[in-house]
């Protein structure tokens, strides 16, 4: 069994440490807080990850890794940790309160990696967490201990090095961990390398010189591509002789490492040095495009970046790993980043930061549109991946280029809403609006973004003020997205005051603007609002037709996230119209999408909707299972049900229970409350249980064309849309869908979607 976890796959082999791991496992039985200390490059992170992987089974509620290197602000620390556990901000509770509540009874392991720059805030947060959550265990890595009572401080030792004198006995040498690490890494450039009696003395001495410090050894091994082991040793020895004044006494470990880093930096070509220095600007890694944008200066051509970058990877100065959305992502170990950043700081830091900020402004502008379109899930993940960089860009531009800052915060609103980071959003928006930057369009966007955040937070007065400020500017702009948003926000606020007539009038106006902009998403959005007003007024037929049109608009735009929200509303209208079949279909389709976004809040709402449907057809047992699953999935988010909906859910629960013998009811509830999100999804849609993924899809019964069609169904497309996308006749698309149904034995589109998502991956 593996517990839910976010531990990364290892990108290089792991060496030794058996004894230390055994000791740490024993310590974990007795202590709930272990801090692995030691200088940079000592192997703290690697060891902590390995340990977490080995003890995973003891923490059935999950193992969460939170990397702190890109987090610079203590307020963001709390949010980052809480978000990693699925907690969402709530109106009446801070995100930390939600987090503590969520973890109050759960048996969970938190790995907090790289705390040295936030020791005090980490100590504060971890202290509170351990106190409020008696079954939580924390492993910390940090150059300094947190200083909490009960903290077990564990000094990370170096890798074992060969005893002097064993140098010419290769078989003995390989018992040393440091030598094994050296050989493993040297093999990356010399496949099949084996130590023999001529090469081994040099390797033994290199490892001893570097005192078994893993990072130093990786750097030395990285030179094996261009130097012999003997060459490496000679140069290293010269370097260290300078530092120790020729004495053989060892340096403290951090100085040894510093010397090793200095040395491998010194061996780089001038352009490699330049690039390494420039790359230290990134927080939390980067992709190739970002590297090209930032480094494309006078000394390094953009087209040279890739070959240079690969050389830095070969030399272990940069790590390459798979990122979100099938892209390679690069990152520097903290130690190397700090070292290179010192050099950048001495040089032309401002220019590099400027390019960094401008690159992320472009990224955000593009992403802002992409978050409403077909690849939004990839983009959502890419935004998360770039969060450190975007924050850095905002921080820099607030001081140096306020106009850029204003644009940046305006393009982040969609992301912040989708992730629910409202407090952080408002903080950035406040700061950007205070700078005096005055370009009208981004200024209007920023006011309107803040209005939206405040509205979601329930601060209707603040939201209203911002909507008015935004509207005033937007009115000078003519038909524009800003004017549309201002009008819509005013409409939504009027609805909140119960002023339906004004609201309807404003949404009508918004609709006209959207129509002029010829953008299906905005048209959909205003139809959605008009539909909701009709629903409130009891005009169910009107509401249905508006929402169906809105759904069409969101579908055309490819925005599945919003499609799900719209289908949820539509389901509720169908219930009023007593069309249970249509309601069930809408809930199921919404559920499939929400689950793909891992959106626990909406998943649980949709499960509850489906429970109501089951009750309506007299299936109280299924209803209870769905309600149990919804409750458990919602819990970690800290979200509360809207009061009127809560009454319905409670009533449904009581009704279902009253129809069943107690033991049966209890069992049904229990079954639901032990479900994962995916299990609940399969249960709710009636999709067949997941089978282990087939190798290369070889045994799938579908043709290549049918697989394409199934994937598009999973994207929420209708048959005519699929036909248009694949350039086939409508009838042909219908026939493909029919074949898929028959071959897989599935009835509904949502079942096909679940199947395709699990077996074929995303399109």
Ligand X SMILES: Nc1ncnc2c1ncn2[C@@H]1O[C@H](COP(=O)(O)OP(=O)(O)O)[C@@H](O)[C@H]1O
- Give CA separation, 24 vs 41, 106, 154, 461, 540, in Å: 19, 22, 9, 54, 63
Q: Which of 84, 129, 181, 583 binds ligand X (CB under 6 A)?
A: 181
Site for Mg ion in 409-448 (CB under 5 A): none
Binding to ligand X by residue 46, rule CB under 6 A?
yes
Distance CA 453, CA 409 (A): 12
Of 38 and 145, CB closest to ligand X: 38
CA 130 to chain centre: 25
| Distance in angstroms (rounded) separating the CA atoms of residues 92 and 98 | 10
Per DSSP, 88 falls in state: -
**Among positions 121, 335, 495, 594, the unique one binding ligand X when judged by CB under 6 A:** 335
Strand partners, 64: 110
Quick check: 222 binds ligand X (CB under 6 A)?
Answer: no
Strand segments, DSSP code E, in 493-570 are none
Contact present, 61 and 94 (Cβ < 8 Å): no
Nearer of residues 114 and 323 to Mg ion, judged by Cβ: 114
Residue closer to ligand X, measured from CB, 110 or 181:
181
| Residue 276, burial from CB neighbour count under 10 angstroms (0-12, 13-18, 19+) | buried
Place of tokens 């009750």: 615
| Position 15 contacts ligand X (CB under 6 A) | yes
Taking the least distance from each CB to Mg ion, the nearer of 45 and 719 is 45
Per CB under 6 A, contacts with ligand X among 339-398 are none
Task: Indicate the residue among 262 and 738 with the shorter CB distance to ligand X.
Answer: 262
Return the structure tokens found at 448.
Answer: 């309107």
Q: By CB under 5 A, what part of segment 95-114 binds Mg ion?
A: 114
For residue 325, the minimal CB distance to ligand X (Å) is 24
**What stretch of H or E contains 120?**
helix 119-132
Could you tell me which residues come within 8 angstroms of residue 260 by beta carbon, excluding any fewer than 6 positions away? 210, 213, 215, 216, 219, 220, 236
Binds 14: which of Mg ion, ligand X, none (CB < 5-8 Å by kind): ligand X
Binding mask 140-169 for ligand X (x = CB under 6 A): -x----------------------------
Residues numbered 156 to 215 that lie near Mg ion (CB under 5 A) are none
37 binds Mg ion (CB under 5 A): no
Q: Is 609 in the site for ligand X (CB under 6 A)?
A: no
Q: How many amino acids of this chain bind Mg ion (CB under 5 A)?
A: 2
Long-range contacts of 426-435 (CB under 8 A, 24+ apart): 426/450, 426/453, 426/454, 426/457, 427/75, 428/394, 429/453, 431/398, 431/405, 432/394, 432/398, 432/402, 432/405, 432/406, 432/408, 433/406, 435/398, 435/402, 435/405, 435/406
Task: Give the dihedral sign, CA 552/555/560/561.
Answer: negative
Question: Residue 17 interacts with ligand X (CB under 6 A)?
Answer: yes
- The Cα angle at residue 523 between residues 465 and 715, in degrees rounded to 5: 115
Residue nearest to ligand X (CB): 43
User: Could you say which residues in the range 595-654 bind Mg ion, by CB under 5 A?
Assistant: none
Residue 218 makes contact with ligand X by CB under 6 A? yes
Asked whether the beta carbons of 22 and 183 are under 8 A apart, the reply is no
Q: Give the whole-angstrom CA distance, residue 107 versus residue 337.
A: 35
Looking at the Cβ atoms of 279 and 433, the one nearer to Mg ion is 279
User: Taking contact as CB under 6 A, which single stretch among the options 333-341, 395-403, 471-479, 714-722 is the one that binds ligand X?
Assistant: 333-341
**116/184 with CB nearer Mg ion:** 116
Q: With CB under 6 A, what is the number of residues at the site for ligand X?
A: 21
Nearer to ligand X, 42 or 611 (CB): 42
Element at 109 (helix H, strand E): strand 108-113
Is residue 333 involved in binding ligand X (CB under 6 A)?
yes
Cβ pair 47, 157 in contact under 8 A: no
Nearer to ligand X, 15 or 210 (CB): 15
Binding ligand X (rule: CB under 6 A), the pick from 38, 86, 620, 716 is 38
Q: Which does 639 bind (CB under 5 to 8 A by kind): Mg ion, ligand X, none?
A: none
- Min. distance of Cβ 408 from Mg ion in angstroms? 29
Tell me how far, at minimum, the Cβ of 14 lies from Mg ion, in Å. Answer: 15
**Interatomic CA distance for residues 204 and 394, integer angstroms:** 48
Q: Which is nearer to ligand X, 177 or 272 (CB)?
A: 177
Q: Which stretch binds ligand X (CB under 6 A): 38-46, 380-388, 537-545, 625-633?
A: 38-46
- What is the token pair recorded at 68? 């702190």
With CB under 5 to 8 Å by kind, the binding choice for 376 among Mg ion, ligand X, none is none
Among 3, 5, 12, 175, binds ligand X (CB under 6 A): 12
For residue 328, the cross-strand partners are 322
Nearer to ligand X, 12 or 439 (CB): 12
Query: Going residue by residue from 198 to 217, which x/- string records binding to ligand X, judged by CB under 6 A?
Result: ----------------xx--
When CB distances are held under 5 to 8 angstroms depending on the partner's kind, the choice from ligand X, Mg ion, none that residue 333 binds is ligand X
- Residue showing the smallest CB distance to Mg ion in the complex: 45
- The contacts of residue 110 (CB under 8 Å, 6+ apart) are 64, 66, 81, 129, 136, 137, 138, 139
Interaction partner, residue 46 (Mg ion, ligand X, none; CB < 5-8 Å by kind)? ligand X
CB contact at 8 A, 161 and 211: yes
Shorter beta-carbon distance to ligand X: residue 40 or 558: 40
The DSSP output letter for 40 is T
User: Minimum distance between the CB of residue 83 and ligand X, rounded to whole angstroms?
Assistant: 23
Among 35, 45, 357, 389, binds Mg ion (CB under 5 A): 45
Examine residue 16 and tell whether it contacts ligand X (CB under 6 A).
yes
Q: Following DSSP, what letter does each residue of 677-727 receive, concatenated?
A: HHHHHHHHHTPPPPPPPPGGGTT--S-HHHHHHHHHHHTT--HHHHHHHTT
Q: Could you tell which of ligand X, Mg ion, none binds residue 255, using a CB distance below 5 to 8 A set by kind?
A: none
Contacting residues toward Mg ion, per CB under 5 A: 45, 114
Contacting residues toward ligand X, per CB under 6 A: 12, 14-17, 38, 40-46, 141, 181, 214-215, 218, 333-335
């Amino acid at each position: 069994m593996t517990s839910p976890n976010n531990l990364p796959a290892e990108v290089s082999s792991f060496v030794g440490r058996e004894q230390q791991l055994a000791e740490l496992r024993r310590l974990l039985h007795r202590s709930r807080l272990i801090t692995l200390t030691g200088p940079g490059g000592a192997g703290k992170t690697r060891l902590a990850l390995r340990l977490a992987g080995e003890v995973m089974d003891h923490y059935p509620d999950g193992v969460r890794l939170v990397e702190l290197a890109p987090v610079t602000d203590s307020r963001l620390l709390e949010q980052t940790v809480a978000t990693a556990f699925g907690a969402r901000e709530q109106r009446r509770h801070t995100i930390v309160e939600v987090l503590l509540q969520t973890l109050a009874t759960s048996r969970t392991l938190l790995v907090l990696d790289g705390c040295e720059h936030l020791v005090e805030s980490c100590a504060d947060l971890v202290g509170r967490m351990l106190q409020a959550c008696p079954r939580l265990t924390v492993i910390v890595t940090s150059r300094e201990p947190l200083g909490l009572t009960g903290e077990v401080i564990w000094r990370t030792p170096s890798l074992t090095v060969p005893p002097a004198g064993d140098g010419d006995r290769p078989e003995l040498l390989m018992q040393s961990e440091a030598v094994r690490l050296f050989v493993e890494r040297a093999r990356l450039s010399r496949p099949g390398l084996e130590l023999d009696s001529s090469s081994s003395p040099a390797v033994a001495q290199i490892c001893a010189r570097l005192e078994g410090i893993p990072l130093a050894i990786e750097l030395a091994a990285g030179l094996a591509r261009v130097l012999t082991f003997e060459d490496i040793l000679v140069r290293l020895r010269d370097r260290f002789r300078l530092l120790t004044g020729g004495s053989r006494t060892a340096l403290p470990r951090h100085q040894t490492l510093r010397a090793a880093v200095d040395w491998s930096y010194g061996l780089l070509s001038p352009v490699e040095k330049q690039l390494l220095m420039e790359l230290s600007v990134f927080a939390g890694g980067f992709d190739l495009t970002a590297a090209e944008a930032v480094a494309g200066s006078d000394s390094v051509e953009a087209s040279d970046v890739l070959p240079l970058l690969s050389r830095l990877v070969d030399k272990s100065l940069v790590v390459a790993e798979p990122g979100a959305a099938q892209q390679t992502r690069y990152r520097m170990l903290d130690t190397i980043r700090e070292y290179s950043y010192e050099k950048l700081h001495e040089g032309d830091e401002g220019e590099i930061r400027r390019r960094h900020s401008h690159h992320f402004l472009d990224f955000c502008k593009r992403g802002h549109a992409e978050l409403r379109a077909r690849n939004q899930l990839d983009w959502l993940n890419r935004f998360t991946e770039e969060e450190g960089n975007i924050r850095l860009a905002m921080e820099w531009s607030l001081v140096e280029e306020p106009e850029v800052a204003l644009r940046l915060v305006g393009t982040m609103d969609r992301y912040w809403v989708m992730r629910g980071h409202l407090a952080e959003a408002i903080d950035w928006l406040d700061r950007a609006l205070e700078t005096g930057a005055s370009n009208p369009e981004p200024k209007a966007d920023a006011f309107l973004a803040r209005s939206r955040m405040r509205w979601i937070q329930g601060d209707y007065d603040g939201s209203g003020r911002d909507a008015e400020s935004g509207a005033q500017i937007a009115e000078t702009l003519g038909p524009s997205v800003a004017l549309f948003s201002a009008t819509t926000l005013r409409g939504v606020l009027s609805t909140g005051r119960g002023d339906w007539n004004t609201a309807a009038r404003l949404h009508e106006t918004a609709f006209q603007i959207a129509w002029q902009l010829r953008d299906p998403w905005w048209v959909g959005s205003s139809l959605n609002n008009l539909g909701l007003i009709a629903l409130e007024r009891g005009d169910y037929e009107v509401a249905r037709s508006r929402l169906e049109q809105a759904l069409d608009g969101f579908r055309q735009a490819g925005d599945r996230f919003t499609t799900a929200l719209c289908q949820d509303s539509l389901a509720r209208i169908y219930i009023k119209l007593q069309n249970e079949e249509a309601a069930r279909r809408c809930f199921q389709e919404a559920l499939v999408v929400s689950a793909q976004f891992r959106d626990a809040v909406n998943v649980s709402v949709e499960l509850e909707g489906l429970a109501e449907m089951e009750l309506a057809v007299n299936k109280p047992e299924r209803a209870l299972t769905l309600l149990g699953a919804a409750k458990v999935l919602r819990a970690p988010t800290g979200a509360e049900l809207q009061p009127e909906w809560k009454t319905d859910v409670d009533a449904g629960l009581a009704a279902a229970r009253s129809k069943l013998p107690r033991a049966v009811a209890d069992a049904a509830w229990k079954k639901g409350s032990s479900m994962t999100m995916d299990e609940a999804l399969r249960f709710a849609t009636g999709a067949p249980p997941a089978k282990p993924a087939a190798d290369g899809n070889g045994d799938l019964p579908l043709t290549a064309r049918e697989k394409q069609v199934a994937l598009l169904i999973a994207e929420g497309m209708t048959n005519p849309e699929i036909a248009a996308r694949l350039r086939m006749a409508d009838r042909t698309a219908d026939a493909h869908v029919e074949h898929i149904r028959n071959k897989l034995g599935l009835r509904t589109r949502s079942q096909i979607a679940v199947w395709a998502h699990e077996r074929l991956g995303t399109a």
